[in-house]
Amino acid sequence: MATITEPPLKPKDFESDQEVRWCPGCGDYAILKAIQRALAELGEKRENTVFVSGIGCASRFPYYMSTYGFHTIHGRAPAIATGIKLANPKLDVWVVSGDGDGLSIGGNHTLHVLRRNVDLQICLFNNEIYGLTKGQYSPTSKQGTTSPSSPMGSLEQPISACAFALGVGARFVARSVDTLQKHLVPTLKRAKEHHGASFVEIFQNCIVFNDGAFSDFTERDIAPDRQIHVEHGQPLLFGAEKQKGLRIKPGSLQLEVVDVGEGGVSVDDLLVHDETDRNLARLLVDMEPPDFPVALGVIYCDPAPAYEDQVTARVDGACCGDLNELLRKGRTWSV
C-alpha cells in the first residue's frame, strides 16, 4: 500500500482565521510572521504545537496561530506551559510574554521555568513599556521614563532581560529585533532546536507608547556600528566594514572596543565568540550604546538535561510497593 505524504506546511498554514489586531506599525506583526516562517522551515506540525501567553499585547498571539493555544492569566504562562510539557512531553510548547508580564508579576514563574530547564521556547517581547494598559513604565523601562505611572520620570534601574535569564541559570539565551527578519527567524529556529528552556529576548517597538525606544541601535544608518551579531567560533567583529572588534582590555576583565588595523590590532587579537562561556555571555549582555554595540544572536548555549525528561525518568523508576507499608514506614506514632 502506498503511503500518503503530506506536503510541507508554509508560513501561511500557521495563520489562524482571526483578524490580527495590534496597533498599526506594532512590532508584534513582524514577530508573528517570523515565528510562522520559522515553524514552516522547521517542518513543524500544527497539531503538535502549543502557544501559551499571559496578559498584555503579546498575549493575543495564540489567537493568531493555527495551532493549539492557551491565553492564560497575568504572569502565569510559564507555569501553565510547564504543566502542558509535563503532561505531554512530545508537544512543542512556546511561551509568549512581554517585559511587564514576564518580568514583573511573572518574574517568579520565568525564574523557575528557566532554572528547571523545561523544554520550552520562551519569547519575551521587550518594548520597555506596558502597552495594553496604556503606557505605564515597566521593569525594563530606562531610568527617567515618563509615563502615566511616572509623570516625573521613573526612579528604578531597569532589568536586563538576558542578564536575568543568565543569572537564574538559563541554558540558552538569545536576542534579536522585530524588524530583523533575516536574523530573527534563524535565531528562533536555534531556540527550537535547543533541548531545554530557550530564552529569546526580542526588542519590539511600541509605536504608540514608547516609539523609538531602540532607535539608538536599530536605525539603519547607525545599526552596523551599534549592533554586533555574535556567532559561535567567529571573532567578535562589527561595523559597516567589519573594522571594529571586541577584546578584553589589557590588565582588566572588561571588554573594550578596538579598531582593527590601528595600533597594531589585528583580527587575531579579538575575542572569539564561545556560546558555551557563561562569563563571556554576561559581558556581552551588559553592553549598551553608545560605548558598546548591542549583542544580538545566540549569546549563550550550553545544554543540560531537560526537566521533563528527568521527571519522566523519576516516575518510571519509582516503585511505591504496598501503600499501607509505605505509610507506616519510618517515624510513626500510635495514639
Q: What is the pLDDT of residues 233-260, one digit of tens each?
A: 999 999 999 999 999 999 898 999 999 9
Give the closest residue to 271 by CA, choosing from 248, 291, 297, 254: 248
Query: Rounded to an integer, what distance in angstroms lies between the CA atom of residue 207 and that of residue 57?
Result: 12
> Over the stretch 140-155, which tens digit does the pLDDT of each residue have?
999 999 989 999 999 9
> What integer pLDDT is reported at residue 320 of this predicted model?
58
The helix-helix angle for 77-87 and 307-317 (nearest 10°) equals: 40
Mean pLDDT, rounded, for 10-38 = 97
For residue 335, give the DSSP letter. Answer: -
Take residue 146 and report the three cell numbers written for it: 515618563
> What integer pLDDT is reported at residue 325 of this predicted model?
74
What residue ranges do the domains of the chain occupy?
A: 11-232+273-281+293-312, 235-272
Mean pLDDT, rounded, for 220-225 = 96
Q: Is the pLDDT of residue 326 over 80?
A: no
CATH superfamily of 11-232+273-281+293-312: Thiamin diphosphate (ThDP)-binding fold, Pyr/PP domains (3.40.50.970)
For residue 208, give the DSSP letter. Answer: T
- C-alpha pair distances (Å), 27 with each of 131, 202, 204, 216, 254: 12, 10, 5, 16, 33
CB 185 within 8 A of CB 41: yes
Give the closest residue to 46 by CA, choosing from 18, 96, 82, 11: 11
Return phi, psi of residue 13, to 5°.
-70, -20
| pTM value > 0.75 | yes
Q: Is the pLDDT of residue 2 over 80?
A: no
> What integer pLDDT is reported at residue 314 of this predicted model?
85
> Over the stretch 289-311, which tens digit does the pLDDT of each residue have?
999 999 999 999 999 999 999 99
> What integer pLDDT is reported at residue 82 of this predicted model?
98
Question: Hey, is 231 helix, strand or coil?
Answer: coil
